[in-house]
Structure 1
């Protein structure tokens, strides 16, 4: 079986995937709250420790290949053997305020390091992203994964390294995803129970891998991938040139990934659970409590932000319409509906750009909640598809490994065969009518919220 591992922002997950594309076993490793404070504080040693825990829990004897994806564009300065030299420059912390102008998601971070930590910059033998640091520690070989040629400007090129006078020796060669990095080496830094010679597969960025693992590789298909942040990714045949969406090359050449980025949905929901003292509740308890609050019942509107179209970005948020009789589950329904309204608005933007929306493939932690999936269907009015393996990053990595092992001719063939839809959730007419009215009210209220923000006392 393939050991697929994904390094997330607040946790890392691993699973053994069978040749038929089923999840045989699964383990999740959470990162402590202290490690998530931001501002150059995340210890990358947690990735190595997490990998060892996943391997110990799932067992190495069945592993035929290792495939690792991770959040990007996180970056770590490291020694030649992959040993980290400092905390990670995480993808969601702002190190891009330097004077360097580049399409690269990585070079502004390295320039920040050169300007602010010059001794550390000089000590670094390599600059590695989070899956690549584990590749190096397992095999002794360093690479940087590019999904396809169209992504080179967003990673780095020789000409740009020359332009900005970076040391080329610190930048590993680019290799295509779905290729073999190298076999596990007994002499590499990370000592494991894996057999020496086990192939390690290049997978790279988790959001790209999730497109493959959700089956969003045909024009018109959408992957709604939710974790700490949420990306609603539309597989398109052409770019739209609209500033409301982010457009990048797709995992497959010739296609475009048009996405709406909801930067705070998962972290917002965790904030709500902490605010209401539910950290020790399991998610089902929280969801059952929220589900017990009727959609038709009056409860507050929640505005994660007060900055126009970006109302889903959690900053300077507010509840409106609070009453004394309301409790934690009314607040929870308000928070979830706000996220659902942001998803609906994202789909509306796609349709305004002549990208028709029929259904939504969900992936990530939210995809495991029947309550949340039904609410999304009701709010958006679209069918929600639940894959057999909800953690699309794991299955996507398994698809890439299956190609590298010669089981499939190409990525599209692997994805079409291994991605299976186990459930379809349809919008309920009576709930959709309720949410149509609420959404109209919410959108109108957004305009008032933006006006209020202009006079908000805390606004600088």
Structure 2
């Protein structure tokens, strides 16, 4: 008779931090651990990670989580991984890492514009995406053009969470949610397609694509070596896992058709569930995660990573704040909102308006202080989420409320700002680590603890608090949002000039070696 199943383990691989969270079968976190990684910027616009470090951090996070929990590993039913989508992770013929490009990399901005102009409509007709800079196939095309020698060594393409699954099980696979989110699948069938690869200029590179499985399919069991490194039981089932935006939607309780999820994380993620994919060229992407299950999204790298950047560059210098994010929240709370407050465009890592967009504070006066700057930054993030939500609504999404998750949802101020600016009630998920929870409940479906996603979500997720919109503040944000949009329009030519100057100052055009 086997050991009773009492827990599920969820792993969430972000662009920097990897998190391991052990949940009971009611979705309560028993223990959690996070390990911060490092990114390298070898050239302007290039953002890469060391995959050996990723595995070290992952195994460390798992081991510490299990040690803190103090549970018998044999009582864990399964493991699920979620991870940031896109970027480019390649292994050579000996399964050694060749390159790990993250999803905030912008090296391929010019190539993305070129592909969009020449084949954007044709690509969208197949995969429901247009090219964008850190999209996996665009980065692969960039590598073929600028680093062909490196590409010749490549044997396998994986997504970031797939690499962790590979190190846990020894099997190299990917799932349909991640691969469709990367624009590498024909939609709505969610399958590989030779015509699609040819449109990207990737003829012959289907050899790199791993076997494709459903997110809740069992990949294999924990290997003996991974068990020794992590403390997990050998043979413990591991599922295919999820694109993190899908996992976060599930972990926040969003699973029914028409339900909306807003994720305030590294990326601004705005999405709704449907039984059929929405075919609309204005949408950023559609990801499939099972028969009759699609997540329709409009996203950009314009969210809470900007507050992290501000804290890292200006608040944590010298280590003089024990709670830097709390300190920032207090500075914002001390400010009385006014219509003539400063503005901020959250475009440090590009924008849905185009990769040429740049961040900036505008409208500063001598009486403004740091609280005004921080409020402008937080407001700018909300404004970009609103712009994406307007795209979703124009494409046919109808929702009268939304669930907020991601790091920004833990803010004392951001959820109310979202409710006021979007003009709908906002529920904040009880779970802080919704990506890990979504992966864990998917693992529960994979091993049969739950027979459907709906049953898993019903048991393991809950809303923590609801924020209702305030009429006066909704009017305030309506006026400022209109000005914010006009200001961005006026800066278009300036941003384009800056991009051209930056391109002339780099060696992107070299590298035919």
Partner of 1:356: 398
Q: How far, CA to CA, are the matches of 2:157 and 2:483 in structure 1?
A: 49
- Conserved? CA contact 1:303–1:312, under 8 Å: no
Larger RCO: 1 or 2 (CA < 8 Å, sep 6+): 2
Are 2:186 and 1:153 aligned? yes
- Deviation, 1:7, is 0.7
Tell me the alpha carbon deviations over residues 129-176 of structure 1, each in whole angstroms, 9 at most, x when there is no partner.
Answer: 211112221222221212399773388726459965536664321111
- Deviation, 1:34, is 4.2
Q: How far, CA to CA, are the matches of 2:395 and 2:254 in structure 1?
A: 18
Aligned length, in residue pairs: 457
Tell me the alpha carbon deviations over residues 63-108 of structure 1, each in whole angstroms, 9 at most, x when there is no partner.
Answer: 4322111112233222567432x23032332465399876675444
Q: 1:93 to 1:440 in 2, by over 3 A?
A: closer
Q: How far, CA to CA, are the matches of 1:316 and 1:230 in structure 2?
A: 16
Partner of 2:267: 229
- Conserved? CA contact 1:230–1:265, under 8 Å: yes
Q: How far, CA to CA, are the matches of 2:409 and 2:33 in structure 1?
A: 17
Alignment of 1:208-223 (within 5 A): 208-223=246-261
Partner of 1:316: 358
**If the length of structure 2 is used for normalisation, what is the TM-score?**
0.78
Q: How far, CA to CA, are the matches of 1:269 and 1:177 in structure 2?
A: 32
Q: 1:114 to 1:358 in 2, by over 3 A?
A: same
Are 2:89 and 1:47 aligned? no
- Conserved? CA contact 2:261–2:271, under 8 Å: yes
SS at match of 2:223: coil
- Conserved? CA contact 1:41–1:87, under 8 Å: yes
Tell me the alpha carbon deviations over residues 344-383 of structure 1, each in whole angstroms, 9 at most, x when there is no partner.
Answer: 2333333334422311211110111121111211222211
Partner of 1:129: 159
Q: Which consecutive residues of structure 2, in runs of 5 or more, have no partner in the other structure?
A: 1-6, 128-134, 502-513
Partner of 2:65: 58
Q: How far, CA to CA, are the matches of 2:166 and 2:359 in structure 1?
A: 42
Q: How far, CA to CA, are the matches of 1:161 and 1:304 in structure 2?
A: 32
- Conserved? CA contact 1:262–1:313, under 8 Å: no
* Aligned partner of 1:87 among 99, 103, 112: 99
RMSD of the alignment, in Å? 3.5
Q: 1:116 to 1:312 in 2, by over 3 A?
A: closer
Which 10-residue stretch deviates more, 99-108 or 359-368?
99-108
Q: How far, CA to CA, are the matches of 2:167 and 2:442 in structure 1?
A: 20
Q: 1:316 to 1:140 in 2, by over 3 A?
A: closer
Are 2:367 and 1:334 aligned? no
- Conserved? CA contact 1:312–1:339, under 8 Å: no
SS at match of 1:211: helix
- Conserved? CA contact 1:81–1:189, under 8 Å: no
Q: 1:438 to 1:82 in 2, by over 3 A?
A: same
Partner of 1:32: 38
Partner of 2:83: 70
Q: How far, CA to CA, are the matches of 2:364 and 2:64 in structure 1?
A: 46
SS at match of 2:298: strand
- Deviation, 1:223, is 0.9
Q: How far, CA to CA, are the matches of 1:122 and 1:204 in structure 2?
A: 29
Partner of 1:426: 468
Tell me the alpha carbon deviations over residues 267-289 of structure 1, each in whole angstroms, 9 at most, x when there is no partner.
Answer: 32233334543454421111121
Q: Which consecutive residues of structure 1, in runs of 5 or more, have no partner in the other structure?
A: none
- Conserved? CA contact 1:66–1:198, under 8 Å: yes
Q: How far, CA to CA, are the matches of 2:411 and 2:163 in structure 1?
A: 32
Q: How far, CA to CA, are the matches of 1:218 and 1:74 in structure 2?
A: 29
